[in-house]
Chain A
Amino acid sequence: MKPSLQADEWVNKYGNMLYNYTLNRVTDKGIAEDLVQETFLSAWRARDSYTADASEKTWLFAICKNKIIDHYRKKSTNKEQYAEADTTSSFFDEAEHWTREDQPNEWGVSYTTTIETKEFYTILEYCKKKLQEMQRNVFVMKYMEDLEAEEICKVLNISSSNYWVIIHRAKLQLRKCIEQNWINS
């Protein structure tokens, strides 16, 4: 097979899939494009070592996942110590009760099933984008990539107690954002 034809077919076949996968994990389109490009280039360079044990698609997605985690790692090495403003301090009052503004309200859906409406996922994407970068990266690695807490701490160069604070704040923010935009829309 001509290499030109192969490269063409490859990018056409898997380009959109990898792009959507990446876009769900990093918010910036330019960065997502670059990561997809790096994925294809790394895969191309390693194509001799590719064995048919895994499907080509699985293999490409594994490379892409590593590129995304590398991206998170690079972004976090500059930060000496994790520190961010606590945007969830308004959620609880002085007695540590939920404040009226930020308390959970009934959504009127079953909480144990899968959500079928496309609107929910559009809002989930929107709300993920609105998280602070560190919160988003931790959330994605934990719940989309299924990495263990210890590994996430290593990649992002954060302490275990930082991890728990960050992931908890991410959940507080996401829940509130979804309630505001989905239930109240």
Chain B
Amino acid sequence: MSLLNISCKKAAYLISKKEQGKINLFDRVTLSMHLSICSLCKLFEEQTGLIIRNTKHTHTEEKLPEEVKERIVEKILEEK
């Protein structure tokens, strides 16, 4: 195994570092070589990228329970 060959486990970890811009030049080169021949790690990079880009869009539509609202208003009024 040459110095430039890295495992999928290592590649996946480097993908996480690359995504945050914390990867050195050597790792960047070995990772891109790995990604050019490994479709699974390529998928990992694309799919985690998709998750991260969409993680701020939230669709929860819960309502703060009325009794909690009343409790908060009471507490605020006690503050006066």
Which A positions have Cβ atoms within 8 angstroms of B? 3-4, 7-8, 10-12, 15-16, 18-20, 23-24, 33, 36-37, 40-41, 44-45, 91-92, 95-98, 103-107, 109, 111-112, 114-115, 118, 120-122, 124-125, 139, 142-144, 149, 164, 167-168, 171-172, 174-175, 178-179
Contacts and interface: CB of A to CB of B under 8 A. Distances in A.
B33 to A, nearest CB: 16
Contacts of A175: 44, 47-48, 51
Secondary structure class of chain B's binding surface, majority of residues: helix
B58 A20 contact: yes
Contacts of B60: 20, 23-24, 125
Nearest to A29: B62
A139 B48 CA distance: 12
Given A97-B8, A98-B41, A164-B13, 20 more contacts: A7-B76, A11-B69, A16-B62, A19-B64, A23-B62, A33-B64, A36-B64, A36-B68, A37-B68, A41-B79, A44-B76, A91-B12, A98-B8, A104-B40, A106-B43, A125-B58, A144-B55, A167-B16, A172-B12, A178-B51
Secondary structure class of chain A's binding surface, majority of residues: helix
A134 to B, nearest CB: 16
Interface of B: 7-10, 12-13, 16-17, 20, 22, 40-41, 43-44, 46-65, 68-69, 71-73, 75-77, 79-80
Contact of A114 (B20, B57, B59, B79): B57
B7 A45 contact: no
Given A111-B50, A114-B54, A164-B16, A96 B63 contact: no
A122 B43 CA distance: 22
A121 B59 contact: yes
B64 A15 contact: yes
Interface-centre pick from B41, B51, B53 (highest chain A CB count, 10 A): B51
The list of the 3 closest CB pairs from A to B, nearest first, reads A96-B7, A96-B9, A104-B43
